[in-house]
Amino acid sequence: MLEPYFYRDNELTVEGVTLADIAKKEGTPCYVYSSAAILERYQAYDRAFGIAPHQVYYAVKANSNLSLLRMMAEAGAGFDIVSGGELFRVLKAGGDPAKVVFSGVGKSREEVEYAIASGIHSFNCESEAELALINSIAARHDVSARAALRVNPNVDARTHPYISTGLHDHKFGINIDHVKEIYDRAAGLGHLKLEGVSCHIGSQLLDTKPLLEALDGVLALVEKLRAAGHPIQELDMGGGLGVAYTDEQQPPSTETYIQLVCKKTAGLGLKLMVEPGRSIVASAGVLLTRVMYRKTTANKEFVIVDAAMNDLIRPALYQAHHEIVPLRHRDAVTITADVVGPVCESGDFFARDRELANVFSGDYVALMTAGAYGFVQASNYNSRPRAAEVMVDGAGWKVIRKRETFEDLVRGE
Ligand SMILES: *Cc1c(COP(=O)(O)O)cnc(C)c1O
């Protein structure tokens, strides 16, 4: 796997570009993504399936910048969306609607209308009432809408509770024991093509075991559905593969996981679908920020940076760990400090009691592995304009989202 960020002459670089140059030119906070790393991660999925019929649907919610989506569309990716807004982005970026699957527990009537009118591939449905709504809208458009029920296999993904979705206690999917009776009833509705099943048990999975356990359950269900006369042809295994936020975390390799899926499904005549988000974009991105102040209290050292929880909420929301490294490596001296932002919340921290390089006011640092669930969760809290986003491509870079201005903050008020 390509490790896009490394030091050259003590300067952190990506694809031959010195990150400090980007920070100086575009300001901070600033997200930077490596196009080569993103494409490599996407192609690793695509290639791993070999000759098995398949489609990779990039999960747009992980990072929905238009330039990134355009790049993915050109590489042949499909898209997993969870809202009408994400469909709008995909279409705007030139994505093929015939390669879009629509997931999510609460699709509105307007969103279903928009998706059917756009001609998406299929809906991953999470309730019987949703199937009925899709059927009625498809009837009005005089089409048959492809729909797959999202199965809740009651498997513990053993990840953070907020990103675990495959237990019966979670709001997601339909209890695997009730799926067949719903297909039986829905088959009579007339405007649905019930040709698939889908499943997504959580995110940041560091072990393939729960994924394969869920797959076993879903394959048993496919057999049961086919025996009852439902022509199941598609199997969507969702996303969920984790990434290494620290050196200790060892995520499963994409190749190993996909090959295990292919082995279990060989000869079943199923089109295989996956919806990876994090594992494609997380390690391709960093958040650049500048050290503003250092201050020492009775028992703590603080490094105050110009990025905050409104730019990257993962540490506050999921107790997530992001490595913090200097853009210019000075010497081997380290400090132990809390790295915090300017927002008026004690939850506004990036690291606590972290050993890091001895950085000073004016130095730049990078929060690593920030390409997924970073900018997309950014807000304007504390009336902070959202950060710029930059895409590096070969030896150059371009701004793919301008830093917001104060005027942007009050637009629409
Ligand atoms: C969030 C989500 C994904 C992507 O998950 P990652 O962990 O980012 O790979 C895929 N499918 C569904 C239905 C999701 O909700």
Which of the listed residues 258, 275, 280, 369 should we mutate to test ligand 1's pocket, taking the one with most ligand atoms within 8 A of CB?
Answer: 275
**The predicted structure's pLDDT at residue 366:** 98
Q: What CATH number is attached to the domain comprising 357?
A: 2.40.37.10
Q: Which atom of ligand 1 is nearest to the CA of 165?
A: 15
**The predicted structure's pLDDT at residue 169:** 82
What is the whole-number distance in angstroms between the Cα of residue 110 and the centre of ligand 1?
23
- Determine, yes or no, domain membership for 91: no
- Determine, yes or no, domain membership for 70: no
Q: Is residue 73 within 8 Å of residue 94, measured between CB atoms? A: yes
158 shares a domain with 209: yes
What is the whole-number distance in angstroms between the Cα of residue 102 and the centre of ligand 1?
11
Task: Domain count for the chain, please give it.
Answer: 2
Domain stops at, among 274, 306, 322: 274
* pLDDT one digit per residue (tens) for the chain, 413 residues: 778 999 999 999 999 999 999 999 999 999 999 999 999 999 999 999 999 999 999 999 999 999 999 999 999 999 999 999 999 999 999 999 999 999 999 999 999 999 999 999 999 999 999 999 999 999 999 999 999 999 998 888 878 888 778 787 888 889 999 999 999 999 999 999 999 999 999 999 999 999 999 999 999 999 999 999 999 999 999 999 999 999 888 899 999 999 999 999 999 999 999 999 999 999 999 999 999 999 999 999 999 999 999 999 999 999 999 999 999 999 999 999 999 999 999 899 999 999 999 999 999 999 999 999 999 999 999 999 999 999 999 879 999 999 999 999 999 99
The C-alpha angle 17, 56, 192, rounded to 5 degrees, equals 145
Can you tell me the distance from the alpha carbon of 341 to that of 328, in angstroms, rounded to the nearest whole number? Answer: 21
Q: Is 344 a catalytic residue?
A: yes
Look up the domain containing 319 and give its range.
5-33+282-409
311 shares a domain with 206: no
**The predicted structure's pLDDT at residue 164:** 79
- The residues, any chain, with a CB within 8 Å of residue 235's CB and separated by 6 or more, are 196, 197, 198, 218, 219, 222, 265, 270, 271, 272, 273
Domain stops at, among 274, 302, 337: 274
Q: Which atom of ligand 1 is nearest to the CA of 373?
A: 8
263 shares a domain with 151: yes
What does DSSP say about strands 364-367 and 324-326: parallel, antiparallel, or unpaired?
antiparallel
317 shares a domain with 199: no
**The predicted structure's pLDDT at residue 167:** 80
111 shares a domain with 13: no
Domain stops at, among 217, 245, 274: 274
